């Protein structure tokens, strides 16, 4: 009897030890997973581990700047929106998603600005059979896909108490457009209801073959304090990089902004109407907003002559619904989560599609608003003040038209 008791006690003790041991193991692997996930997102070269994407042999441990913790979960909507197949970008994305899931170890790529460019033609050809048939600019884009942190040339003090940040894509030579925006819909300051508006222009640098506007831009930045400039070449396929640097800058310098407007310097925005709309939103909608002119069920252009040509071997699938890049608005609350997924979603050459993919990763879909006219209004309404007063955004207007329209919609004599 005593023996049985002793045996039971021993069995109980052993089981307890085992349970304890197992749970501590479990805990450890849970932490391990966590660390792996952050590790994955800390790197720019997510794709490198995977056998279906060939990589260059690692040089050394790349310098990694500390990144904030992942504070976003990757939504399943991204998988639903983007097919898994053999196209390069699709493979990169799924490879990155798998890394996050499996918390695998990675060979680190060189993410420094000087070392990020993929210069090996063979490597790109191994991954993309018809790489050499791609347009030159597209090839250039592919070589720089991992280059995400260009040097800052001009920075500005942060924006406090900002309700709406207007982040306007401009280029160095667009002095006139910027001035028109400043004098009209982009005017900084306090609007009715105590809503503060802050304006920043986002610039790259002029290509070497262009006149050098550096001293003028520096003067302008000093005078107005509303310019951000990075050292990368202005080009269509670098707009994604521009979006990316905005999303790196804003969470640290403007993280209290309630809303961010991202748009071009040739749009007309009815800022008071936009503010009224944003202020009218309920709290839950205001915290996950991504609104604009929504383009749904679009697919890549496959004609190499098209400005937005995307080769099939690069991306295969439809585009997720996206808000036209001429101008859209999103919640400041999404800045941190977006910042996290920036390192997961590979660069896509079309910036508004790219940002939509990032939103998709967060499970946020664009909301259509009829007030955003990124493809302009009907021909006969293009001078119509009442039409402009009724809308939130109209693309595109010259600096002169902008001033005329702005004055017009604010005229006390205007009857609509």
Ligand X SMILES: *[C@@H]1O[C@H](CO)[C@@H](O)[C@H](O)[C@H]1NC(C)=O
Q: Interface with ligand X by CB under 6 A: which residues?
A: 59-63, 110, 112, 114-115, 137, 140-141, 144, 160-161, 232-233, 235, 237-238
User: Measured from the CB atom, is 233 or 389 closer to ligand X?
Assistant: 233
Residues 224 and 215: their CA atoms lie apart, in Å, by 14
User: Measured from the CB atom, is 112 or 384 closer to ligand X?
Assistant: 112
User: Measured from the CB atom, is 240 or 336 closer to ligand X?
Assistant: 240
Sheet holding 372-373, edge to edge: 267-269, 393-395, 372-373
Task: State the Cα angle at 339 between 43 and 341, rounded to 5°.
Answer: 60
Could you tell me the smallest distance in angstroms from the CB atom of residue 42 to ligand X?
14
User: Measured from the CB atom, is 63 or 306 closer to ligand X?
Assistant: 63
Residues 262 and 200: their CA atoms lie apart, in Å, by 10
247 backbone dihedrals φ, ψ, rounded to 5°:
-75, -10
**Cβ pair 242, 200 in contact under 8 A:** no
Could you tell me the smallest distance in angstroms from the CB atom of residue 223 to ligand X?
17
Task: State the Cα angle at 326 between 325 and 327, rounded to 5°.
Answer: 85
Could you tell me the smallest distance in angstroms from the CB atom of residue 244 to ligand X?
11
Q: In Å, what is the CA distance from 329 to each residue of 131, 308, 369, 409? A: 36, 23, 11, 22
Residues 42 and 36: their CA atoms lie apart, in Å, by 10
Could you tell me the smallest distance in angstroms from the CB atom of residue 391 to ligand X?
29
Could you tell me the smallest distance in angstroms from the CB atom of residue 137 to ligand X?
5
- Of 272, 264, 315, 317, the C-alpha closest to 292 is 264
Could you tell me the smallest distance in angstroms from the CB atom of residue 142 to ligand X?
9
User: Measured from the CB atom, is 161 or 287 closer to ligand X?
Assistant: 161
Contacts of 283 (CB under 8 A, 6+ apart): none
User: Measured from the CB atom, is 235 or 313 closer to ligand X?
Assistant: 235
Q: Beta strands of 125-281 (E only): which ranges?
A: 152-154, 164-169, 189-191, 195-205, 227-233, 259-264, 267-269
Query: Residue 251: is the preceding peptide bond cis (ω within 30°)?
Result: no
Could you tell me the smallest distance in angstroms from the CB atom of residue 164 to ligand X?
14
**Residue 73 CA neighbour count, 13 Å, CB half:** 3
**Cβ pair 300, 322 in contact under 8 A:** no
* CB-based closest residue to ligand X: 115
User: Measured from the CB atom, is 92 or 385 closer to ligand X?
Assistant: 92
User: Measured from the CB atom, is 232 or 328 closer to ligand X?
Assistant: 232
Could you tell me the smallest distance in angstroms from the CB atom of residue 165 to ligand X?
12
């Amino acid at each position: 009897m005593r023996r049985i008791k002793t045996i039971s006690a021993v069995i109980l003790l052993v089981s307890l030890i085992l349970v304890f041991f197992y749970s501590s193991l479990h805990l450890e692997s849970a932490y391990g997973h966590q660390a792996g996930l952050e590790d994955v997102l800390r790197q720019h070269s997510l794709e490198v581990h995977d056998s279906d994407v060939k990589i260059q042999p690692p040089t050394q441990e790349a310098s990694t700047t500390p990144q904030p913790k992942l504070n976003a979960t990757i939504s399943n909507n991204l998988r639903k929106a983007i097919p898994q197949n053999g196209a390069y970008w699709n493979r990169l994305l799924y490879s990155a998603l798998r890394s996050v899931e499996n918390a695998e170890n990675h060979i680190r790529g060189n993410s420094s600005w000087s070392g990020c460019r993929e210069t090996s033609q063979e490597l790109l050809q191994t991954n993309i059979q018809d790489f050499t048939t791609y347009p030159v600019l597209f090839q250039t884009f592919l070589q720089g896909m991992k280059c995400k942190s260009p040097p800052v040339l001009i920075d500005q003090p942060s924006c406090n108490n900002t309700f709406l940040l207007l982040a306007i894509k401009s280029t160095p030579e667009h002095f006139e457009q910027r001035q028109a925006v400043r004098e009209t819909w982009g005017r900084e300051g306090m609007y009715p209801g105590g809503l503060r508006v802050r304006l920043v222009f986002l610039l790259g640098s002029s290509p070497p073959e262009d006149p050098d506007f550096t001293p003028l831009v520096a003067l302008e930045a000093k005078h107005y304090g509303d310019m951000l400039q990075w050292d990368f070449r202005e080009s269509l396929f670098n707009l994604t990089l521009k979006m990316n640097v905005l999303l790196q800058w804003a969470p640290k310098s403007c993280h209290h902004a309630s809303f961010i407007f991202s748009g071009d310097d040739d749009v007309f925005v009815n800022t008071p109407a936009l503010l009224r709309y944003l202020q009218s939103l309920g709290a839950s909608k205001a915290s996950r907003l991504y609104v604009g002119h929504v383009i749904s069920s679009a697919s890549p252009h496959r004609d190499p002559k098209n400005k937005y040509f995307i080769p099939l071997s690069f991306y295969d699938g439809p585009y997720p619904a996206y808000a036209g890049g001429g101008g859209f608005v999103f919640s400041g609350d999404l800045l941190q989560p977006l910042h996290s997924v920036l390192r997961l979603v590979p660069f896509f050459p079309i910036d508004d599609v790219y940002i939509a993919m990032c939103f998709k990763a967060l499970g946020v879909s664009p909301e259509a608003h009829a007030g955003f006219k990124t493809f302009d209004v009907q021909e006969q309404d293009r001078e119509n003040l009442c039409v402009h007063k009724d809308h939130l955004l109209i693309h595109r207007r010259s600096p002169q038209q902008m001033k005329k329209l702005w004055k017009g919609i604010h005229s006390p004599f205007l009857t609509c």
